[in-house]
Structure 1
Amino acid sequence: MNTTVRYDEILKKLARFENKRLLAELAWGGQIVAITSMLLFTFFAFLEYLFFFSPGVRSVFYYTWLGITGGSIVHFVLTPLYRRYFIVAANPVRSALEAGSYFPQVKDDLMNVMQLVKVSDRRGFSEKLVVAAFDDIYDRIKELEFGSAVSFKKAKKLLIFTLISFILSGGSFTFSSGMKDAGLRIIDHNKQFVPPQKYSFEIKPGDIEVAKGDSVMISVIVSGPAAKSLELYHKDDSQPAFIKEVIKAGKDGSFSFIIPSVKYSTEYYAAIEDSKSITYKLTVTDKPLIRAFKLQITPPSYTGERPTEQTDNGNVSGIKGTVISLSLESNKELSEASIEFMEGINIPLTVDGTSATGLFRIMGDNEYVIKITDTKGYTNISPVKYTIRASYDASPEIVVLSPDSNTALPRSQRQDISLMISDDFGFSGLNLNYKISKSKDTKTVQEKFTAIPVPFNKSVKETQTSYNWSLAQLFLSPGDEVTYYLEVFDNDQVSGPKSAKSREYIVRVPTLDELFATGEQKQDEIQKELTEVLKEADELQKDLEKVSKELKSDKKELTFEEKEKLEKMLDKFEKLQEKAEQLSQKMEDAQENMKENNLLSPQTMEKYQELQKMLQDISTDEMKKLMEKMAKNLESLNRKDAQQNLENMKMDEEAFKKSIERTLNLLKRVQIEQKIDELVKRVEQLNDQLEKLQKETQNADPKGMEELAKKQDEVKDQMKDLEKEMQDLRDKMKDMKDMPNEQAEKLQNELEKQKNEELSEEAKKNMKKGQKQQAMQNQQQMSKNMKEMKEGLEELQNSINQSNQMQTMADMMKIISDIVDLSKQQENLKKKTQNSSPSALLSQEMREQDKIQRNLEKMLSRLGDLAQKTFAVSPEMAKSLGDARREMNKSLENMQNRNNKQAAGNQGQAMASLNQAAGMMQDAMAQMMQQGNGGQRGMMSMMQQMGQMAGQQMSLNQQVQEMMKGNNGKMSQEQMGQMQRLQQQQEVIKKSLDQLNKETKAAGKSKSIPANLDKLSQEMQEIITDMRTGKYNDDLVKKQDKILSKLLDATKSINERDFEKERESFTGTNIKKNSPGAFNTDGGKKERNYSDNINKALQGGFTKDYEDLTRKYYNLIK
């Protein structure tokens, strides 16, 4: 390396040394300048702060500070820079001397060598020595870095003092407004400043813009001596002068005051003593507000309710899911608006200028406010809180009206269901859910319900609907049970359809045993209740007799105790009537149940209907009116009226009691027929089971025989039940002496001799052994036995019906005969009474009337006894005889009062009532004849038709004779019209005769009728011709009597032949034994008795009308 390069390298080292030395000098000198400047300015400011000098003094301070600061900058900053870049740069040797002084091994050697190297004229110097000296010094310094000798310790030590000075000066001006102001006054030294106040004020919020109605808090911090109070002055645009407020200092020394609800722009300032702040201003601007808004309330569509609107009222109610559309108008342009709910949900509204719109949905009770913000960021003041009230779609309701309990499945296999459903808005569906819950065949039992949609009107909110549920497709067997319930769904489209369920019901397929047991239980209950009603009626009758005796007093008015007793009697009677009506309804229900399940024969069912009607007719409207009248009369406390009402009540109670007693006795008879119907059904079912079991046995394999053995065991149990029910029938019949008990006993013995239980047990054993043929033989024998038993039961039923009918007809004929006799006696008495003096005392006639009346009482008793056995006796018959008795009683009273003319009138009325009763009995007998033998056209049917025609002819004859009395062969137009109607009646009788004649010839039975019907028809035609031509004379009457006689003879002959034939065909029936002695049917003796009766009746010398009537009835009896 040559000397030049090395020299340049040394120069670079020296330059780095100088730069570092300059930096150290500037670091120290700069701090000196800063310290001097800050402390001097702070000192001058402090003096200004204390003494508030004039501008001249402040100028001295300012220029002094400026001069010292400038001099320091020249000395400590500019001088080192000048030396570095001008002096040292021009003479690096000097720098070499400075650098060598820091290194002992160098000292001034570097400076010397550099001076030699830079000498251009080296004369006197050895070049080599110079180079050698240079290389030597180079070698010594090449590893040295001259800059390392420069130290910054001095600057660093001064840095702490610099920082302290900066903090002291900066804090003075930052935290002291007085020092700050003083510094500013020194800088602006030429300006004249007012001397500072004793107190300075820092006021917030200063000049601001506030929303109208806002409250503004003003806070004041005072600098200066401690102050205990401060005066705040404020004035708005509406006030003429400032208002002073005295404010006391807070704990922290500050002052605060709230200007409430600023409505106008307001100026304000603070003052303490002579110190006063500058004046600030609160500029008021309006906040946004809602001028108007509207809500549209739209309920869910499924409710069917129409949308509604409400204005300026945010309180809203609606069903869950209701949509609320909101629109509002503000006084200012809006930047945003929203609905804020109390639960924290915000719904933004769509803003358009001063309006905003939006919507929300009611999902529950809530509260909300509407917040709006204008373009300046102000929000509405204290927004109103509105409430939301949600109503909820209630669950539907379902009430099953019928059935109200578990039921038995009718024979139709249909279950009628009636129910009421309701919901607040409508329905979406109705299901019937069912499952087979019990069955002998466990495979058919179901675990889950199956739903059937039930059709109904879904658009209504409440409806009563019915459903006729067919269970035929389930193929149920007796003993199976189906559990079901109904479920209705509403039409809630918001939360989803809600449902309501009925309770579960069971419909059971009843066995035959259950059906009969249910029917018998109901009948037993009715019988028991009838017995209780009858017992209560007996007690009431005794009470009435007792009260009746107590009322026989001379006092004019009733006492309170007597009135109370009468009211109790009346109340008891009304309750008895109510019980009778309830029993009528029960019997109707039982009847419908038996009819529904086809448990009874048509004949037995008809009798049940008669029983139900009898119970229904017990409480008549007249009786109810009498009760009301009596209750009203009791208010007057009149003893005479009360006695009369009590007598009427006794009569009604007696009739009521007899009706109940009759119903009870007839019910017992009908129950016997019901039991026979039951036995017939049982043997039919057993026969069907045996025939089916026989076929199954024939086709069964060895494995199936075990199952069939179980079925055979069930047959054995049913055979046992059959014998038990047969014994029950015998027990019921034993209480009825007029029943064919011997025939029933014989039938029971035959059933026991059949030994069906043993046959069934034997068949079961043969099945288990696999002996099919033997088992089938046992089954065939049992089936044959059941058929024979059915025939025997049907014969027993026919015997009961026919013997009852024949006995009834015989008894009724005897009563008719007695009524005719009494009617004739009453007519004779009437003639005597009419021919007597109007005011004479008729002692003999009174005795005769009393005798007739007592005989009528006996007849009424006999009719009552007959009514206990048959439905043929109607209440109207008893009423007619009762009317006759009442007229006879009035006749006695009038004769006692010597009012003989009125007595004769009563006797005529009594006679008319007797004849009316006889006519009704005649019609009843004709009806029984029509119903005999189920309406078959045998001998009994012919007798019925002949008897009916005879009755019609007799009635026609009587009417013709009445029309001809006293007319002397001349008739008025009205009478001619009546005769024309009588002619038409004769034509009707002839048509009936011709039809009977045609039927008997077709059946080959014309010889069994003794009368020549062809000739009889010709004679009727002659009478019709005479009536058409107006020949109303004695010959016409004789012809009609002759025809009547022939009709009666024919009826008698058919009756005797048919009766003898029927006697022979009824096995086990002893009609002779059960018939009254007066009606002995032994051949000629019976004929002689009838002839004697006729002759005796015709010996009184009565009119021809009564003779014909008597002859007709006695012939009917024969």
Structure 2
Amino acid sequence: MFFSFIALSVATLIAYVIVPVCKIAGLGKQLTNEEIAKIIGEHFQEIDDKLLNLFDLQRQLESGNYQSYDLLSAAIDTKIEKLKPFSFVQAIPFDKTKKFARWALIPILVFVLLMLLKKEVFVEPAERIVHYNQQYEKPAPYSFVVTNPNLRAFQHDDFTVHVKIEGDETPEEVFIHYKNRTYKCNKVSNTEFDYTFSNIQQDIDFNLLTDETSSITYTIDVLPKPVTIGYEMQLHYPAYLNKPDEVLDNVGNATVPEGTRIEWKIFTKNSDNIIFIIDDEVKTISSEGDQFLIQKTAKNSFSYALFNKNSYFTSKDTIKDNITVIKDMYPEIMVMSQQDSAYSERYYFKGNIKDDYGFSKLQFVYNQYDANGRLVKQNQTVNIAIQTGVTLQDFYYYFDANTFDLKPGEKIEYYFQVFDNDGVNGHKSAKSSVSSYRLRTLEEISDDLEKSEDQVKSDFSDLVSESAQLMKDIEKLQSQLLQEKELSWQDKKKLEQLMNQYQELKDAIDKLQNQQKNNQAIESQYKDIQEDILKKQQELQKRMEDALSEEMKQMMNKLQQMMDQSAKKDDVQKEMQKLKKNTEDINKTLDQQLQLYKQLEVEKKLNETVQNLRNLADEQEKNAKNTENKNISKEQLQKIQQEIQEKYKELKEDLQELMKLNQQLEEPTKFKDTQELQQKIESQMQQSQQNLEKNNRSKSSDNQKDASESMDQLANQLEQDFNESELESVSEDIETLRQILDNLVKISFSQENILTSTQKMNARSSSVSNLMTEQFQVKNNMAHIADSLNALARRQMSVKPFIQTEVSKIEDYLKSAQTDLNDRKLPNASKNQQFALTSMNNLALMLNESLQEMQKKKEECKSKCNKSGNGSCSKPGGKGKSKKTSARELQQQLNRQMEALKKSMEQQGQQGQTGQQQQMSEKFAKMAAQQEAIRKMLEDYNNEMKSENGVGDRTLEQLINDMKKTEKELVNRTITQQTIQRQQSITTRLLKSERADIEKEKDEERKSNEAKYVPQLNPPKDWKFDTEHQQQNEMLKSVPADLNHYYKEKANEYFYNID
């Protein structure tokens, strides 16, 4: 029956479905047109055989069986027109079929509802029909429904099966059966059960069971889960770091330098892709087997995450880490400069450069500008050697503006620029601040020097006042201390103030000393300074350095210690007395320095003015020659002449300034009046311009030559006046020093006698009072010598500061000796007298050296005087005449004294009578000293003759020998008639020698030779840098190589800082 039903269904399907469809598709036998026309004609009476006739006519037309084509075509068209109004749709009687269509809707609706509400009515029977050979049991009262969307699980995951019971009944328990074992399901509710499979490794087949029924077999498909087995991160550092690459195993976080290429190798299982997320950027990386390779160059810090993925699953287990990028920082540079104390155009630079990884180069960069400010050279560079691998280091650079061939008024701007070794972003740089150097013009240099010298004089005056005030404050504090028993807190504060005053004085002297050095260096570099002036400047500089003695510094330290230790008042007073004395010496020294500085300033101003006058005379002479050259235009000559006149006006102002400075001296130089000569020069220049305007070149040239000669004459006159005045001053000071030396010898004799008497005398003797009187007289005489030496030291540098120091010692010893005699402490007095006598002898030696130095200076003055001007300076016979005259006059006075002494001795009837012996000894000693002084005067003169002419004066040599005989007799306290005759002969021969010199001077030719002096500049100061930076570099190299970058840099900084 089942198969009969199948056969009937198939036949119906073929007859009513397949066959019609085949015919519609044109398959099988087809009707001809004539048959179709007959069928249509039978169903439509209006058409009848019209359609058939049309086909006949069409056939005739196609076969060509016709007599007239047009007639046949017309007949066909007529037939077609008759058929057009007809509609074939009318052939179907829709009105009759509509009433049956609505009945067909009822079964269709029933079928749709059943399919929607209970499709198993159709599905299950159909299934049973299809599976005809399968046995079906009676349906259970309930069924198992697995509610999981799908039965797919990922390997190693847990999977829970959810079961729902549907039906009229519900079981109390549900079991699950798999792998030949049965497990009870977890009851969630009356109709819901579940069961969890743990750590699924492979596919699982299971059934659901109850006591009444079992389910079909379900299969859990286990899908492979993408997992990460491990990974490594390779760090490829930029090449410029010279750092070896690193590999980090299973480490995701890292701190790397900028530009590091990071390569991740991810080792996975069951992964098709990896999702790589960097910040907001997502990339999908395909696999190469079970290994993934990801690369990125780190420019900035970033976070990243890695997800494994295959066709079934995207892993929720991610790698989330951070990469911190250390940016390559800009380099840093710091530069300090120091100007050479001797050469203002030289600078020494010490700099410090720092970077995180190293450097590529360090450069000195400069731009050069002309006097008008136009850029001549731009971005010129000089490479400086550095250690490129050391991240923190010092560098040194020497800058000499002379190497740039600058002209006056031109300047350069410069700076230092350091470049790091950044191989990622390109070499970054840092610059120091821009500095500049401008080559001043000679006029600017002169103006600056003049201002600086004025400031030096002002500072000198201030220092003299400050030292004097310090002396007064010390005296005031001493007076207060005398009225107190112990040092009070106020006394200590005042003493502290005194020490502060002293420190301020010291600082001011140091500052002044540096200013003098700087001025001297500039003058030596830019001006032609004569050698004797350079020597004087050096002597002044040395005196400034010795102004504050080491002894005074020790006294200040000792006073400070006394204050700290609360010393006794008497001890403090003694130290303050020493301090007062030393301060007084400083005051005298500074005052002497000031006067000597003023003299030197006048001498420098004179030399500069004279040199400028001679240079201008040369320019005028040159222009005079150019005026005669007709190839040079009149306008150009007038312009040059006008410039010369302007320069002369400036020189006139310099002359006025010279005279002004000269008048400020205590003993001004005796310059002759030059106003007439100056007016003459101006007149000649004006006449030159007038003649040039009239185009009278010949007269204009003559006027210019006359002006040039007058300038030379003015320069020679100024130089001659100064040299003569200096020679006269030195000669007078030599005589003064000789007199001082003579007086010192006398005082030393007196002091020696007092010392002898003191050593032999009893303290209780009444003669002590006489010794006190004699000692007081020696002390007063020594004070006169001290005043004379102080006055002489203000004029002559030959009187050195140590002479003043020795004089102070003598005065201190004499004062102490006087006090000891008053207290009748004869042993102490004798000791101080011995010290004073020793210092007197030392002072005599010092003064003798100063005398010799002054004599040499006198010879130099004579040499300069003879070479300058018109040669009218005193030679032997000039100033020599006055020296012989002085010697003759002194000799006459000595002769009269000797004659008077001889008469006195004859009247007394004996020599050396008791009571008169000491008085006679003093007279003989004094006359012997006078004769010695006269003899030395003639010896000096004779030596001058030998140095200038090569031959001395025989007459003077004979006179000198006779004087020595007289000295010997006076020392032996003997005066005979032969002695008196010898002395008269000496006087007569001196007078004849004077007259001979006068005659010789009249016949002598007077010639002038101008001395041209080319100064030699001081050699460049050796700039020695500290060698500590070399030691530092050695320590930096010793940093262990296995330290990472961070700790290595910390070690470098540590070594640098402690260095």
What range describes the TM-score normalised by the shorter chain of this pair? 0.5 to 0.7
Question: How far apart are 1:914 and its partner, in Å?
Answer: 0.6
Question: How far apart are 1:727 and its partner, in Å?
Answer: 0.8
Aligned to 2:951: 1005
* Equivalences for residues 394-409 of structure 1 within 5 A: 394-397=330-333, 399=335, 401-402=337-338
SS, match of residue 151 in structure 2: coil
Q: Does 1:866 align with 2:803?
A: no
Read off the aligned partner of 1:401 and give its amino acid letter.
S
Given the alignment, which residue of 381, 404, 412 partners 1:453?
Answer: 381
SS, match of residue 204 in structure 1: coil
Aligned to 2:449: 519
Structure 1 pair 331/613, CA: closer, same or farther in 2 (3 Å)? same
Q: Deviations over 1:124-174 (max 9, x none)?
A: xxxxxxxxxxxxxxx999998999886496999799999998898579658
SS, match of residue 449 in structure 1: strand
* Equivalences for residues 481-560 of structure 1 within 5 A: 481-484=411-414, 487-556=417-486, 558-560=487-489
Q: Distance in 2 between matches of 1:753 and 1:898?
A: 74
SS, match of residue 370 in structure 2: strand
Aligned to 1:1037: none
Q: Kindly indicate whether the alpha-carbon contact (under 8 Å) linking 2:256 and 2:323 is maintained by their aligned counterparts in 1.
A: no
Question: How far apart are 1:828 and its partner, in Å?
Answer: 0.2
Aligned to 2:322: 386
Q: Distance in 2 between matches of 1:234 and 1:483?
A: 97
Q: Does 1:912 align with 2:838?
A: yes
Q: Distance in 2 between matches of 1:310 and 1:179?
A: 68
Q: Does 1:662 align with 2:599?
A: no
Q: Does 1:645 align with 2:575?
A: yes
Question: How far apart are 1:455 and its partner, in Å?
Answer: 4.1
Q: Distance in 2 between matches of 1:1062 and 1:489?
A: 82
Structure 2 unmatched runs, 5+? 53-77, 867-873, 884-938, 963-971, 973-982, 1007-1059
Structure 1 pair 684/1058, CA: closer, same or farther in 2 (3 Å)? farther
Structure 1 pair 794/159, CA: closer, same or farther in 2 (3 Å)? farther
Q: Does 1:798 align with 2:739?
A: no
- Where is the helix percentage greater, Structure 1 or Structure 2? 1
Q: Distance in 2 between matches of 1:686 and 1:857?
A: 52
Q: Does 1:194 align with 2:139?
A: yes
Read off the aligned partner of 2:361 and give its amino acid letter.
S
Question: How far apart are 1:706 and its partner, in Å?
Answer: 2.8
Q: Kindly indicate whether the alpha-carbon contact (under 8 Å) linking 1:333 and 1:353 is maintained by their aligned counterparts in 2.
A: no
SS, match of residue 645 in structure 2: helix
Given the alignment, which residue of 734, 750, 754 partners 1:825?
Answer: 750
Q: Deviations over 1:83-126 (max 9, x none)?
A: 999x9999999999865530326879999xxxxxxxxxxxxxxx
Structure 1 pair 719/205, CA: closer, same or farther in 2 (3 Å)? farther
SS, match of residue 192 in structure 1: coil
Q: Kindly indicate whether the alpha-carbon contact (under 8 Å) linking 1:328 and 1:356 is maintained by their aligned counterparts in 2.
A: yes
SS, match of residue 261 in structure 2: strand
Q: Does 1:320 align with 2:273?
A: no
Given the alignment, which residue of 833, 837, 843 partners 2:762?
Answer: 837
Aligned to 2:512: 583
Q: Kindly indicate whether the alpha-carbon contact (under 8 Å) linking 1:315 and 1:387 is maintained by their aligned counterparts in 2.
A: yes
* Equivalences for residues 154-553 of structure 1 within 5 A: 173=115, 182=124, 187=129, 191-192=136-137, 194-195=139-140, 197=142, 200=145, 202-209=147-154, 281=220, 283=222, 287-289=226-228, 291-301=230-240, 303=241, 312-321=250-259, 323-326=260-263, 328=265, 330=267, 332=269, 340-342=277-279, 344=281, 360-369=296-305, 381-397=317-333, 399=335, 401-402=337-338, 416=347, 418=349, 420=351, 422-424=353-355, 425-428=358-361, 430-439=363-372, 446-447=374-375, 449-460=377-388, 462-469=393-400, 476=407, 478-484=408-414, 487-553=417-483
Aligned to 2:896: none
Question: How far apart are 1:726 and its partner, in Å?
Answer: 0.7
Q: Which has the higher contact order (CA 8 A, sep 6+)?
A: 2
Read off the aligned partner of 2:153 and give its amino acid letter.
I
Q: Distance in 1 between matches of 2:992 and 2:454?
A: 42
TM-score between both structures, scaled by the size of structure 1: 0.64
Q: Kindly indicate whether the alpha-carbon contact (under 8 Å) linking 1:935 and 1:941 is maintained by their aligned counterparts in 2.
A: no
Q: Does 1:851 align with 2:777?
A: yes
* Larger Rg, first or second structure (1 or 2): 1
Read off the aligned partner of 2:619 and give its amino acid letter.
Q
Structure 1 pair 609/77, CA: closer, same or farther in 2 (3 Å)? closer
Q: Does 1:772 align with 2:697?
A: yes
Read off the aligned partner of 1:438 and give its amino acid letter.
A
Q: Distance in 2 between matches of 1:90 and 1:504?
A: 112
Aligned to 2:557: 628
Over aligned residue pairs, what C-alpha RMSD do you find? Answer: 5.9
Read off the aligned partner of 2:576 and give its amino acid letter.
L
Structure 1 pair 586/1001, CA: closer, same or farther in 2 (3 Å)? closer
Q: Kindly indicate whether the alpha-carbon contact (under 8 Å) linking 2:145 and 2:166 is maintained by their aligned counterparts in 1.
A: yes
Read off the aligned partner of 2:351 and give its amino acid letter.
M
Aligned to 1:1083: none
Q: Kindly indicate whether the alpha-carbon contact (under 8 Å) linking 2:186 and 2:195 is maintained by their aligned counterparts in 1.
A: no
Q: Kindly indicate whether the alpha-carbon contact (under 8 Å) linking 2:342 and 2:522 is maintained by their aligned counterparts in 1.
A: no
Question: How far apart are 1:393 and its partner, in Å?
Answer: 3.9
Read off the aligned partner of 2:733 and give its amino acid letter.
T
Q: Deviations over 1:877-936 (max 9, x none)?
A: 122222222222332343344432332222111100011011011112212333444498
Structure 1 unmatched runs, 5+? 1-58, 112-138, 249-254, 440-444, 948-992, 1017-1033, 1035-1044, 1068-1118
Report how many residues are paired. 864
SS, match of residue 326 in structure 2: strand
Structure 1 pair 516/838, CA: closer, same or farther in 2 (3 Å)? same
Question: How far apart are 1:261 and its partner, in Å?
Answer: 12
SS, match of residue 791 in structure 1: helix
SS, match of residue 716 in structure 1: helix
Question: How far apart are 1:738 and its partner, in Å?
Answer: 2.1
Q: Distance in 2 between matches of 1:628 and 1:828?
A: 40
Question: How far apart are 1:284 and its partner, in Å?
Answer: 7.7
Q: Kindly indicate whether the alpha-carbon contact (under 8 Å) linking 2:146 and 2:162 is maintained by their aligned counterparts in 1.
A: no
Structure 1 pair 257/782, CA: closer, same or farther in 2 (3 Å)? farther
Aligned to 2:42: 101
TM-score between both structures, scaled by the size of structure 2: 0.68
Aligned to 2:503: 574
Bigger mean CA offset, 847-856 vs 445-454:
445-454
Structure 1 pair 856/778, CA: closer, same or farther in 2 (3 Å)? same
Q: Kindly indicate whether the alpha-carbon contact (under 8 Å) linking 1:234 and 1:243 is maintained by their aligned counterparts in 2.
A: no
Q: Distance in 1 between matches of 2:119 and 2:876?
A: 145
Given the alignment, which residue of 671, 677, 683 partners 2:601?
Answer: 671
Q: Distance in 2 between matches of 1:110 and 1:876?
A: 163
Structure 1 pair 725/330, CA: closer, same or farther in 2 (3 Å)? same
Structure 1 pair 615/1061, CA: closer, same or farther in 2 (3 Å)? farther
SS, match of residue 618 in structure 1: coil
Question: How far apart are 1:391 and its partner, in Å?
Answer: 2.1
Question: How far apart are 1:352 and its partner, in Å?
Answer: 6.3
Question: How far apart are 1:825 and its partner, in Å?
Answer: 0.9
Bigger mean CA offset, 529-538 vs 565-574:
529-538
Question: How far apart are 1:790 and its partner, in Å?
Answer: 2.4
Question: How far apart are 1:621 and its partner, in Å?
Answer: 2.3
Q: Distance in 1 between matches of 2:190 and 2:543?
A: 108
Percentage of pairs with the same residue: 18
Q: Kindly indicate whether the alpha-carbon contact (under 8 Å) linking 2:616 and 2:644 is maintained by their aligned counterparts in 1.
A: yes
Q: Distance in 2 between matches of 1:1005 and 1:601?
A: 30
Q: Does 1:789 align with 2:719?
A: no
Q: Kindly indicate whether the alpha-carbon contact (under 8 Å) linking 2:741 and 2:847 is maintained by their aligned counterparts in 1.
A: yes
SS, match of residue 427 in structure 2: coil
Question: How far apart are 1:346 and its partner, in Å?
Answer: 5.8
Q: Kindly indicate whether the alpha-carbon contact (under 8 Å) linking 2:627 and 2:697 is maintained by their aligned counterparts in 1.
A: yes
Structure 1 pair 634/1058, CA: closer, same or farther in 2 (3 Å)? farther
Q: Kindly indicate whether the alpha-carbon contact (under 8 Å) linking 2:226 and 2:308 is maintained by their aligned counterparts in 1.
A: no
Q: Distance in 1 between matches of 2:677 and 2:484?
A: 71
Q: Distance in 2 between matches of 1:640 and 1:448?
A: 73
Q: Distance in 1 between matches of 2:19 and 2:312?
A: 61
Q: Deviations over 1:1003-1036 (max 9, x none)?
A: 55344783389999xxxxxxxxxxxxxxxxx9xx
Q: Distance in 2 between matches of 1:109 and 1:451?
A: 112
* Equivalences for residues 878-897 of structure 1 within 5 A: 878-897=804-823
Structure 1 pair 70/402, CA: closer, same or farther in 2 (3 Å)? same
Structure 1 pair 94/583, CA: closer, same or farther in 2 (3 Å)? closer
Q: Distance in 2 between matches of 1:909 and 1:870?
A: 28
